[in-house]
Chains A and B, each alone.
Chain A
Amino acid sequence: MGKTWAVFFAVNMIAMAALCFAAPAMGMWMPEGVSTHAHDVDFLFDVILWITAFFFFLTEAILVVFLWKYGCGCKEAPATGVPGFLKPIAPLIDTPHKVEMAWTIVPAAILLYIAFAQIGTWANVKYQSRRQQFLGEDKTPVTIEVSARQFEWRMRYPSAERFREWLKNPNDSEVKKDIDAFPRNPHADDVHVVNELHVFGEPVKGPDMDEWKGNPVLVYLSTRDVLHSFNLPQFRVKQDAVPGKTIPVWFVPTKPNTVKIESGSSTMWLDGRRDAKGEPDRMLIWDIACAELCGWGHWRMIGRVYVHRTQDDFLEWLEQAGKSEHGRTAMTR
């Protein structure tokens, strides 16, 4: 009986492990990370994955072997004169305290390592005190107020004119103050759009023309109805929006996904593309998918992230958005 059940447990465990190994190949794994800290997050995920995988195989294998070995109903004859509970359990466990010490201290050390390995990345993307340093002191972040509502994302940008001023004097203390006060200080010429987060970067001059550097993004997140969660899976960004609070969120993109398309008199920006021609690539469509239950429309509270290839593209879009009435500028799918 024991061998049958040992095999039964083993087959199930192997099937589950196999699914884990097969999933990435089937396109069911973490999407490619497209922010500077995504690499750190994915690395930490992998560290935990390999450590837990090791202990999964270790403990399940021990269990299966024990079921196989001690479940046959053919227990060795009891050692003479020694009751079972006094019988040395094994050479290994002759001194049980040592074994117990080992299996307490070793996991403790590994767990402490896992815990402390997280702190740096967590601090970089969440601690207020690290924000300036993480985004770069001499950079002007794209500053956006995102106000979540049932069931849409309302974005407010500074006007193109004002943003140009900021870009020119990134280290000016007045500009820094202006950026800090942005959520409290709406201007008449602010640009409002819905469900579209537009940011940008710039190709970097160098031997390899494919290099591209993102401009930092600073989002002031708020809501006036219920909880929402600002969730950009590809950017490894997630932050709940809380009524009564304004929460800063920051990241730096590492890849553009938006191209400008001129058709006749109008200009459009399309995401999901590397160039103006060709079909959109699903891996380059980046959703803002609300991750905190916010009511019946929660599942379709979806926006898009548009990462413009250049600063000029972005500024051109911002100018056009400032003139637009409908609050919707890019073309979605």
Chain B
Amino acid sequence: MSVGHPPTTAAPAHHEPSFLGKYIFSTDHKIIGMQFLFTSIIFLGLGGILALLVRIQLAWPHAEIPILREWFVDNGGRMTESFYNMLFSMHATVMIFFVIIPFLTGAFGNFTIPLMIGAPDMAFPKLNMMSYWFMWPAFVLILASFYAEGGAPAAGWTSYPTLSSITMPAGEGLHSPAAPNSGHGQIFWLLSLTCVGISSMMGSVNYITTIINMRAPGMTLYRMPMTIWAMFITAILQAFALPVLTVALIYQSLDKSIGTTFFLPDGLTFGNWSAGPGGGQTLLWQHLFWFYSHPAVYIMILPAMGMVSDIISTFARRPLFGYRAMIYSIAGIAGLGFIVWGHHMFQSGMDPRLGTGFMIATIMIALPSAVKVFNWLGTVYRGDIQFTTAMLFALSFVALFIIGGLSGIFMAATPVDIYIHDTYFIVGHIHYVLFTSSLMGIFGAIYYWFPKMFGRFMNEFWGKVHFALTFVFANGVFFPMHILGTAGMRRRIPDLTATAFESPLLTLNQVMTISAILLGLTQLIFLANFLLSLFLGKQTTERNPWHSNTLEWSAPTPPPHGNFDVPPVVYRGPYEYGAVPNRTEDYLPQTLKFDGPVPAASGH
């Protein structure tokens, strides 16, 4: 039985650091987590605005858009096609690399890992600080790309060559003959993502080391909460997949700057301009990119699954059903996640026989996902559900992840994918997984851990209003995307009136856009609730307001530097909820030494 370090967690004597040292150049995992949290919320706003502009253009392709009209006088008051392409490219880039991943691994990974395993901090606090500070060049570069000559990149978040990568030689100004936005803006994008990658890699190394080495005495691997298991497996995924993306980003940067041809074949011609000798392969980029970006999809969902498991178990007052099966299915998803990247490339010109293999692996990923859903349902079964805002978001994660999971099977099936590939079906699928699943999980986690982070509650009433409206409007905008995809509507088009088969879909698009605007406005309720609760929220009077078992609730609120006043020792698994004889509470915290009936492992 592996046990962590002997207790070294007695609050280390330290003097109170200055404001700058405490909040800006902090090595405290909780502060770093909050730094990630605040920047992610800011970028969520930016990504949301970009999305709304996309939706507005789709619904009213020929109308003048009030404020934007002034920018596009030359284009008759309508946004240009390049601007539209830039909007969805940057929406996806911002949401994936600057919102979801930093939210999950940056904010909640940092905040939860040391607290939930009973450690005073991360294994490498300075590396942790660096991982946040490496995000800043990324922030600056990605925002600067909007002001670059030609504008921010518009080749999609996938940045497929040759549209993204073909560039005139430096002597001719590094412009792209393929698209105005693929010149300087694209170079900013590549550098920015490289910095995000370095940041994530520092985080991963730190998380893996911390979880392996810094667990409190008694915190065996099979006593770790699902949040920690998910963060652990996610960090491993990230550590193994990221180098490939970094290599690809560097290759494309070299193609664009010093004239290498990793992704450029022979004989490229743009108008009257012919590129020099090539010899590269455009498909190579797709393989490298998706070798990272498919595991990245799981990086963007597994931590949310972990947090949701903890929230559901806490508020259902039931042990998590099938604890070990939950761990194995996360591991299964992660393992299969490495051998399914080709399902993004079924129609790409990759050998179709490879497609068959990728299809079978991909469809089998639905299996561990299904097991997880059944286990969540089993957890709620015969529970005593407390409908807190956090619980509602966690339940909606389950309800809507089912849709996102099932719609994936359509695209995994190669012949069906022929028809729905690159349509709104995939757009619907990704938003069910990333918005209505991951982001719902993130909202749940914010409401859940807010009292521990800041010592105050968020307002429950407005939290529920936020939940109900988000649920309705998110479904209102994302569910019809499946219908659009089934009708064949292509993704990444600014105007669907150009074809006979897409034109009839305009009305539905207008309904979706109205829903999207309302969804955006609903998030203002969240923002106000979040900011006001920081200063005015009801103060938490006890350490463990939710009566939860995991270690972070045994720390003072908010936890000081060093986290625990009493070094925690773990005696039991994290999910022992239910009535116990000789005990008034219906839960057994992990630190509790209790001489009642010896509980079975909370899984089996």
Contact = CB atoms under 8 A, between A and B. Distances in A.
B419 A236 contact: yes
Interface stretch (A160-168, A176-184, A219-227, A307-315): A219-227
Contact of B363 (A16, A115, A225, A245): A115
Nearest to B414: A122
B68 interface: no
A70 B374 contact: no
A170 interface: no
B46 interface: no
Given A2-B385, A89-B378, A52 B406 contact: yes
A104 B415 contact: no
B495 A90 contact: no
Interface stretch (B21-29, B221-229, B437-445, B479-487): B479-487
A115 B359 contact: yes
Contacts of A103: 370-371, 374
Which residue among B282, B382, B410 has the maximum number of chain A CB atoms within 10 Å of its CB?
Answer: B382
Contacts of B581: 80-81, 83
B474 to A, nearest CB: 10
B281 A244 contact: yes
Nearest to B420: A45
Interface in A59-102: 59-60, 62-63, 66-67, 70-71, 73, 75, 78, 80-87, 89-90, 93, 96-97, 100
B471 A84 contact: no
A25 to B, nearest CB: 12
A1 B387 contact: yes
Interface string A93-127: 10011001001100110011011101101110111
Nearest to B325: A100
Given A118-B414, A287-B501, A111 B363 contact: yes
Interface in A221-256: 224-227, 229, 231, 233-234, 236-245, 247
Contact of B597 (A13, A66, A83, A104): A83
A78 B579 CA distance: 6
B429 to A, nearest CB: 12
A331 interface: no
B415 A111 contact: no
Point out which of A37, A245, A294, A295 has the most chain B C-beta atoms below 10 A from its C-beta.
A295
Given A63-B395, A242-B349, A44 B385 contact: no
B504 A63 contact: no
A312 to B, nearest CB: 27
A122 B419 CA distance: 12
B399 A13 contact: yes
Interface in A1-41: 1-2, 5, 8-9, 12-13, 15-16, 19-20, 23, 27-31, 37, 40-41
B41 interface: no
B270 A45 contact: no
B269 A224 contact: yes
Interface string B401-414: 01100110110111
Contact of B488 (A30, A56, A75): A30
B162 A243 contact: yes
A238 B347 contact: yes
Contact of B282 (A51, A97, A116, A242): A242
B579 A12 contact: no
